[in-house]
Amino acid sequence: MQEHVFTNCRLVLAEEVLEGSLVVRDGKIAQIDSGPSAVAAATDLEGDLLIPGLVELHTDNLERHLLPRPKAHWPAIAAVIAHDSQIASSGITTVYDAMSIGDIQSGSMRKKRLEDMTAALREAKEHGVLKVDHILHFRCEVSDPAMQDMLEPLLQSPDLGLLSVMDHTPGQRQFVSEQTYRNYYQAKFNLTDSEMEAFITARREDQKIHSKPNRDFVVEQARQRNVHLASHDDATLDHVGEAVADGITIAEFPTTVVAAKASHEAGLAVMMGGPNLVRGGSHSGNVSARDLAEQGVLDVISSDYAPASLLHAAMLLADTVDGYDLPRAVATVTKTPAEASGLTDRGEIAQGKKADLLRVWGSALHPIITGVWRGGERVA
């Protein structure tokens, strides 16, 4: 039996902040007490916060480590380990690694590196070199003609935990403004005006032919495998109605207030990006995460492309938005994402839950992580 006692800490529970102590036994939370512990070997946290380990549902961070610069391909195992270390140091103890199944550009590097990423994660996990719990989140681009062929061989992965549907066709969802779409992808792919026109025409034709059958395929696969399902960039009431009919439980990055409110009212967990909160708005001109929080419909935060934004954004919620006290703000990065994705054994400081824990010093400048434990073992 392995036991570890934390004392003199502010425990962020689901409904309150308790000044007390915590006993971890065999990787699980065994006891929560008010007041200090009498155990001589207890770790004194000197009044710091002790919160659950963060649960990240959607990050593209691994892709960035695989391709740190254009054409600079990094070895897959090395990329996985570097990604894992960054995730752990950001306080994330459970991460859903989001991998794009399909893309809007033929010959995309995402397609070419997909097998490398999944195989490297599996190998690293089997060799016990990862600090945090990695789960696969396959983001399915339903307008891609090759999406089903790409997804099918990956569906047997024992690490699969989440599927999501997305459609990056111009003039809708993330890119309601066609001009914003033009500006973004013309610069990204270095296209001439005529090439951009052809690109848009091809994307719209692909959507007409492939989006519905591809979406139906993903939804059916999620049902057969009892895997939770998320929607991406819903913008209208029709989008939300389709999500509800498909049994979706997570609304990822809704682009309008209307869609976010309708999703929240329908029982979907509304997820927005931590960078959106930290920066004060969406980089693509869509709805502000803070606006949704002020209306009480922000349920989950994701770090998206910046792992360090997860804790920072939650603390900003607690400090600056009415209606989000510390327990509710912390729940957006712990308890709620865990529950929305079907993980019932973590995300909360409660007896019997996994001892995934995070020590936080509330510096006036920025929240500082001074300790990370996964299953009772220190990882950062």
- For the chain, give the number of residues: 380
Average pLDDT over the chain reads: 91
Q: Does residue 11 lie in a domain region?
A: no
Name the residue range of residue 289's domain. 53-174+200-343
Q: Does residue 9 lie in a domain region?
A: no
Q: 112 exposed, middle or buried (CB, 10 Å; 0-12, 13-18, 19+)?
A: exposed
For residue 77, what is the domain's CATH number?
Answer: 3.20.20.140
Q: Does residue 350 lie in a domain region?
A: no
Residues 357, 53: contact at Cβ < 8 Å?
yes
Ranking 68-77, 251-260, 327-336 by mean pLDDT, the lowest is: 68-77
pLDDT score recorded for residue 186: 67
Strands of 250-252's sheet in order across: 54-59, 92-101, 133-141, 160-166, 228-232, 250-252, 269-273, 300-302
pLDDT score recorded for residue 187: 67
pLDDT score recorded for residue 154: 93
Position of tokens 């399915």? 140
pLDDT score recorded for residue 42: 97
pLDDT-based confidence at residue 195 (cuts at 50, 70, 90): confident
- In this prediction, residues 226-247 reach a mean pLDDT of 95
Task: Kindly tell me if the per-residue pLDDT of 106 is higher than 70.
Answer: no
Give whole-number Cα distances, 110 to 144, 165, 362, in Å.
Answer: 13, 16, 38
Q: How far apart are CA 234 and CA 167, in angstroms?
A: 10
Two tokens, residue 211: 């989006």
List CB contacts of 86: < 8 A, sequence separation 6 or more. 61, 65, 307
Q: How far apart are CA 175 and CA 183, in angstroms?
A: 11
Task: Kindly tell me if the per-residue pLDDT of 177 is higher than 80.
Answer: no
Q: Does residue 193 lie in a domain region?
A: no
Give percent of the chain above pLDDT 70.
Answer: 91
pLDDT score recorded for residue 145: 87
Q: How many domains does the chain have?
A: 1
- In this prediction, residues 346-359 reach a mean pLDDT of 98
Q: Does residue 127 lie in a domain region?
A: yes
List CB contacts of 272: < 8 A, sequence separation 6 or more. 253, 254, 289, 292, 298, 300, 301, 302
- Residues 220-227: contacts with CB under 8 Å, at least 24 apart: 221/151, 221/155, 221/163, 222/163, 222/247, 223/247, 225/155, 225/160, 227/160, 227/161, 227/162, 227/163
Q: Does residue 180 lie in a domain region?
A: no
Q: Does residue 299 lie in a domain region?
A: yes
Choose between 255 and 182: higher pLDDT.
255
Q: In this predicted model, what pLDDT tens digit does every residue of 78-103 receive, in sequence order? A: 999 999 999 999 999 999 999 999 86
- In this prediction, residues 279-294 reach a mean pLDDT of 86
Model-level pTM? 0.91
- In this prediction, residues 159-167 reach a mean pLDDT of 95
- In this prediction, residues 314-335 reach a mean pLDDT of 97
Q: Does residue 357 lie in a domain region?
A: no
